Amino acid sequence: MAKNLIVILGPTASGKTRMAAQLAHDLNSETISADSRQVYRGMNIGTGKDLSEYNVEGKCIPYHLIDIINPDEEFNLFEYQKKFYEVYIKIIRKNKIPVLVGGTGLYLESILLGYQLSPAFPDTEFRGMLKTKSIDELRETLLELKPQLHNKTDCEDKNRLIRAIEIERARKAGSAADIAKPLIDAAVFGIHWERSILRKRITARLKERLENGMIAEVKSLQLSGLKWERLDSFGLEYRYIAQYLQGKIDYSEMFLKLNTSIHQFAKRQETWFRRMERKGIRINWIGGDDYNLLLKLLFQKQSV
């Protein structure tokens, strides 16, 4: 076929998981996640895994790169890319076209642009030195290594700053990893909603998740041994619910701050997708949940 990967991307609450699962069902294929938080076990409601959506017409659609590590473990872009190619090759060997779905722009971009990444193994001595520095000093160090910093969340947590410095240091060293990278020729589709509609979808989804046990999920993670600082590093749902559970904010403030932050996060996702287009990645935009349009555009591309 003309294309060997189908990508469905979109901001949070856009409905990309449901659309990808339906497409994988109709193509008798499998999905691969491109979400930086869904890799963690036990973080289900807060990360929006929506695993029930992988059951389509009574059939369980295989999904990959979800629930692969514990939340107290480190995970980075290099590891994601490596695992993606391993899964991708297995699916292709079944004569199926994988469906890559997610909203983490950096993960998507690393596949579509074939980033050359280096393994950044933890350096105990180097880490010890970095831990003596303040967050401001670590930010300066990271910005010296990477002036064009896109993942701002790395600058909000000391451990993430240290890990980001390690990764960038390895990249600067130029030790590119020997990863088998098949030639990717992807058909990329993006789900777009009018801003007012997306805002309503985000708020409704947040209310639903809170009603379905998201607070209990965060509390369970903390009781299992995950430190408050680690929960905070995951941002969004885990940050503000952790603050609520610690009594730092009340429920109303938690909901307001979280709702606002998710709206801001969706805007950042959309900004990243536009940046991807400027880098030469062609995204075919689908209005809302128009699945028939997706199929029409897809088969046009497969015939090219």
- The beta strands (E) that lie in 111-250 are given as 186-192
Tell me what pLDDT residue 168 has.
77
pLDDT tens digits in sequence order for the chain, 304 residues long: 589 999 999 999 999 999 999 999 999 999 999 999 999 999 999 999 999 999 999 999 999 999 999 999 988 888 999 999 999 999 999 999 999 999 999 999 999 999 988 776 666 777 888 888 888 888 888 888 777 665 555 577 787 788 788 777 776 665 555 567 899 999 999 999 999 999 999 999 999 999 999 999 999 999 999 999 999 999 999 999 999 999 999 999 999 999 999 999 999 999 999 999 999 999 999 999 999 999 999 988 655 4
pLDDT in tens, 121-135: 666 777 888 888 888
Tell me what pLDDT residue 173 has.
61
Contact between 110 and 102 (Cβ < 8 Å): no
- CA dihedral (95, 29, 285, 237) positive or negative: negative
CA distance linking residue 163 with residue 142, whole number of Å: 10
Tell me what pLDDT residue 304 has.
46
Tell me what pLDDT residue 69 has.
96
CA distance linking residue 9 with residue 189, whole number of Å: 6
Tell me what pLDDT residue 153 has.
56
For β-strands 59-60 and 55-56, DSSP reports them as antiparallel
CA distance linking residue 174 with residue 94, whole number of Å: 35
Report the half-sphere exposure of 198 (CA within 13 A, side-chain side): 23
What the block records as the tokens of 273 is 């997708």
Tell me what pLDDT residue 203 has.
98
What the block records as the tokens of 130 is 């970095």
Contacts of 272 (CB under 8 A, 6+ apart): 105, 106, 150
Tell me what pLDDT residue 248 has.
97
> Taking the model in full, what pTM does it have?
0.84
What the block records as the tokens of 33 is 């996640």
Tell me what pLDDT residue 143 has.
86
